[in-house]
Amino acid sequence: MKVCIFDIKRFAIHDGPGIRTTVFFKGCPLECWWCHNPESISAGPELFTEDVIFDGVLLEKQVEVGRWEDVDILMNELERDRVFMDESNGGISFSGGEPLHQPDALFRMLKLSRERNIHTTVDTSGYTTPERMEKVCELSDLIYYDLKSMNSEKHKTYTGVPNRKILENLERTAESGTEVVVRIPVVSGFNDLDQDLVPMRDFLRGLNGLKAVDILPYHPFGTHKYKRFNKENKQNGFKTPSEKRIAEIKQLFSDSGFRTRVGG
Ligand code: SF4
């Protein structure tokens, strides 16, 4: 069985507990305007042309993003970091793109990780079928679940898909008993007002199993990639929320009993 990935990050400390090795799956059904990895969105390897200056001469270089890997061989390669994972209570994280966009490969890697006693984290948009969501809950140890907007029309405009499926799957995930952290990308110009965040807080308060929320302030880090990979950049109206506003938002969620972190 093969999986298409576009990167592997070793010694990652923000993708779950401890030291982790993070595998970035290629392909995502969403197209969020603030995405830091626009090269991850289309499925399968892609060729891009970029300008490079060599010896004072402007040349065109072909860059391939994404590669197919055999799942079992990849798992053996990831396990080479085992000593760091074990010593730090870390593990393997599956990110993207959207890992559930290649469900069979993801399930196989989660199953092999469990057999080998390796802690797993899955970072998901939640835009998948209920059956796939239930299976990922069953096979993984921690789920990072993105929540972007409670307003479905707005969600569709800024991500390309409505939010109903995502909200329903989040209810399922919270009830599954698997540890889940909801991650909210907070983007000034999209969702940093009370009218956006209070409905999110109210929805999350209604979920029984949910204990933790991460607030992820928007940064324009990935914008240079849009030019590099010939993608349309729609982030001109976005800003990083002020520290004061982020502190207020953190308070909003922690006052409701959630363990709330900024970043994460
Ligand atoms: S869900 Fe994540 S990977 Fe997919 S487009 Fe949005 S930000 Fe990018």
Could you report the per-residue pLDDT of 140-149, keeping only the tens digit for each?
A: 999 999 999 9
State whether the beta carbon of 98 lies less than 6 angstroms from ligand 1: yes
Residue 125 pLDDT greater than 90, yes or no? yes
Residue 25 pLDDT greater than 80, yes or no? yes
The structure tokens listed for 106 are 């993801």
Residue 222 pLDDT greater than 90, yes or no? no
State whether the beta carbon of 97 lies less than 6 angstroms from ligand 1: yes
Distance 98 CA to ligand 1 centre (A): 7
- 3-state SS of the chain is CEEEEEEEEEEECCCCCCCEEEEEECCCCCCCCCCCCHHHCCCCCEEEEEEEEECCEEEEEEEEECEEEEHHHHHHHHHHHHHHHHHHCCEEEEECCCHHHCHHHHHHHHHHHHHCCCEEEEEECCCCCHHHHHHHHHHCCEEEEECCCCCHHHHHHHHCCCCHHHHHHHHHHHHCCCEEEEEEEECECCCCCHHHHHHHHHHHHCCCCCCEEEEEECCHHHHHHHHHCCCCCCHHHCECCCHHHHHHHHHHHHCCCCEEEECC
State whether the beta carbon of 30 lies less than 6 angstroms from ligand 1: yes
Q: Which atom of ligand 1 is nearest to the CA of 160?
A: 5
Give the pLDDT score at 48.
84
Is 177:164 a contact under the CB 8 Å cutoff? no
For 2-175+220-233, CATH number? Answer: 3.20.20.70
Give the pLDDT score at 264.
66
Give the pLDDT score at 163.
98
Total residues belonging to the chain: 264
Give the pLDDT score at 230.
83
Domain ranges in the chain are 2-175+220-233
Q: Which of 87-91, 165-169, 183-187, 225-229 has the lowest mean pLDDT?
A: 225-229
Residue 77 pLDDT greater than 90, yes or no? yes
Q: What is the average pLDDT across 2-11?
A: 97
pLDDT band at 16 (very low <50, low <70, confident <90, very high): very high
Strands 91-95 and 119-124 come out as parallel
State whether the beta carbon of 260 lies less than 6 angstroms from ligand 1: no
Please, what sign has the CA dihedral across residues 98, 145, 239, 31? positive
Q: Which of 59-63, 126-130, 166-170 has the lowest mean pLDDT?
A: 59-63
Give the pLDDT score at 185.
98
Q: Which of 56-70, 81-95, 174-188 has the lowest mean pLDDT?
A: 56-70
Residue 57 pLDDT greater than 90, yes or no? no
* Nearest protein CA to atom 8 of ligand 1, as residue: 35
The pLDDT mean for the chain works out to 95
Q: Which atom of ligand 1 is nearest to the CA of 34?
A: 7
State whether the beta carbon of 46 lies less than 6 angstroms from ligand 1: no
State whether the beta carbon of 123 lies less than 6 angstroms from ligand 1: no
